[in-house]
Structure 1
Amino acid sequence: MRRARTSGGRRRRLLTGALATVTAVVTAGAVASAAPAVADEVESTLAGNWAPFDRCPVDDPSMLAADGAELAALCLASSSASGTMTIGEKTVPTSVTDLQLGLLGDGVSYTSVAPEGAGILAEPVTVPGGLLNLMCPSDIPVLTSLCEKAADSKLNRVVATVEPAGVPTDFNLTAGLGVGQPILTLPVKIRLDNPLLGNHCYIGSEEEPILLRPRNASQPSLTLTRYAPDGTTQAGGPMSNIELSGADQIDDSFTVPKANGCGLFGILDWAVNAQLGLPSPEGANSLVLHDAVTTTGGFYNPASFAPDQGRLLSEYWHAANQ
């Protein structure tokens, strides 16, 4: 294993100092889901302290290329057990969520690296009251007819699913450690599944996403764990996890665009828009994620493993995969 070169200047000192003390945090992410059963999907196969990072994109070329001196590769996992999302006057509960990303940073600025598939996994959420709650009652004849049909429980059930609509951006290390500042920008879209709306009914899209910018509502608690490359807790080990917990994350600054693809050829887009008040302006919507837990993992001092830090992170991650 090659060690770091003795030179490196200010950038290397920034990287080593920042990551050796407190690395990074990120939002617990979204609300409902991009997967049908998060409990099955996110059950970790990684040993010991590696367990939170079972979807870390350690084999992404950009992560492998990180040298540890100028740029370090990290794994990040964030989750929330429950919460709420409000659009206008409609509120939907959120369920268990799991957001995982890779991070590339120099101790000051960071770039997100999404894993293959969805960075967000969570349990689907059934909308309380279903279609009757979302669109009824109504004095519009077409909607009145739908409301009458929705009285049948099989047609009434609506499942809300939040899906990624792009890679997170604007990650802010300082904001994640403190209170009241946006931690990152998370683009999402919401799918509404219902027999009458179809399974391609979306609020938001890749072209016009909902941009969530969660912030800590209170100061999170911080726990540092050092461990060996195999994941075993070890005082002074080369690896470290920074866990922040105990704080809700909130956002009341996002706008919500119009619906699309609802009903055959989008014939019910206007109905969803009318009943939900879409597009919904900033200030009319809110997100609350309860007791968000965020863990950032990697080398305690990444510069000590230059120029192979990214490659070694991948090697140790795979060795911990049981």
Structure 2
Amino acid sequence: MSRRSTSRGLFGALATATVFATVTAVGSLSASIAGAAPAAEIPFGGWDSCPIDNPETSTCMDVTVTGGNMKIGKLSVGIPAGAMRIAGGVAYRENPEAEFGFDQVFIPPNDNSRGIYAEPIDIPGGALGIDLPFNNLFGLNKASATVESTSALPTVDAFQLGVTLPVKLKIANPLLGGKCYLGSDSNPVQLNLDVTEYGVLEEVPGFPDTAVVRNTGHTGQPFAVPTASGCGPFGVLNPIVNWRAGLPSSTTSNSLATTSDVYNIGADSLRPQPAGSPEPAAVAAERSAN
């Protein structure tokens, strides 16, 4: 049996566990994953992003990008490990028309991230498309891109590991100011990430409602990127950014491929327990690791 078909079978077990937990109102992935390989020292960091104070949150999901590449028009940017993360809660709302009888609804963290956390990524060649001496002209040629959330929330699929991200890209350079963007709240860059390779599914010993799927490959469906806005005083540098990046850029000129580790845990494992009850195992494990 191939690794891909094996991963699909294991992931099917994860989906079955999640459905069972939801239908029985346990609020987490309550069944263990048959055949999953035990994993030692799975990190529990990042669960503070899950909105466990919302009683509708059943599953906490964390997608941490470990590498990839994004191409926009004439720009090609490598995505380093840890440069982007999608995290939050998942609620299951009854819908007889849905595949499992309910919809999966993303619940964002209780901060301003709207579930998207990202670090600036250097653009090779900087603002002019070529690396210059003297530290890229004392930093004047250096440019970076940061993925930011919009007013629309991401959507996630805790079963199939798909992610949809309506985003805008902030372009940073000393001459562009702090409001230079590709995409906006009203016209976002729509990243629809489908799984192209299911990774290795790992069960966490002692945590039957927790699973990690490592090295999951995502590829973005065709997406368009609009012209730049807000670059330089009164947008006077918008044409320069459009020239450098080749904007507007149609769906045939852009691509995105990432590899990620996906973490799922039942929200009840993170919630405070009644007085006198044992501390949730996941909370104790994270506290002891720090």
Q: What's the TM-score, normalizing by structure 1?
A: 0.64
Greater strand percent: which structure?
Answer: 2
Secondary structure of residue in 1 paired with 2:226? coil
Could you tell me which amino acid in structure 2 is paired with residue 83 of structure 1? G
CA contact (8 A) 1:126 1:158 kept: yes
CA contact (8 A) 1:161 1:191 kept: yes
Greater helix percent: which structure?
Answer: 1
CA spacing shift, 1:58–1:266, aligned 2, 3 Å: same
CA spacing shift, 1:199–1:173, aligned 2, 3 Å: same
CA spacing shift, 1:184–1:122, aligned 2, 3 Å: closer
2:158 equivalent to 1:164: no
**Identical positions, percent:** 28
Which of 114, 117, 139 is equivalent to 1:154?
139
Which runs of structure 2 are paired with 1:227-266 in the superposition (5 Å)? Answer: 233-234=205-206, 240-266=209-235
Q: Which structure would you say has the larger RCO, counting Cα contacts within 8 Å and 6 or more residues apart?
A: 1
Find the counterpart in structure 1 of residue 199 from structure 2: 220
| Alpha-carbon offset, residue 289 of structure 1 | 1.1
Q: Could you give the per-residue CA deviations for residues 16-36 of structure 1, whole angstroms, max 9, x where no partner exists? A: 79944589xxxxxxxxxxxxx
| Alpha-carbon offset, residue 152 of structure 1 | 2.3
CA spacing shift, 1:22–1:104, aligned 2, 3 Å: farther
Q: How many residues align?
A: 240
Find the counterpart in structure 2 of residue 273 from structure 1: 242
CA contact (8 A) 1:252 1:285 kept: no
Secondary structure of residue in 2 paired with 1:283? helix
CA contact (8 A) 2:21 2:29 kept: no
Q: Could you give the per-residue CA deviations for residues 200-229 of structure 1, whole angstroms, max 9, x where no partner exists? A: 11111111111111112212221222xxxx
Which of 52, 62, 66 is equivalent to 1:77?
62
Find the counterpart in structure 1 of residue 184 from structure 2: 205
Could you tell me which amino acid in structure 1 is paired with residue 172 of structure 2? D
CA contact (8 A) 1:254 1:281 kept: yes
CA contact (8 A) 1:252 1:283 kept: no
Structure 2 residue ranges without an equivalent (≥5): 1-19, 34-40, 94-99, 274-279
Q: What's the TM-score, normalizing by structure 2?
A: 0.71
| Alpha-carbon offset, residue 154 of structure 1 | 2.2
CA spacing shift, 1:172–1:22, aligned 2, 3 Å: farther
Secondary structure of residue in 1 paired with 2:252? coil
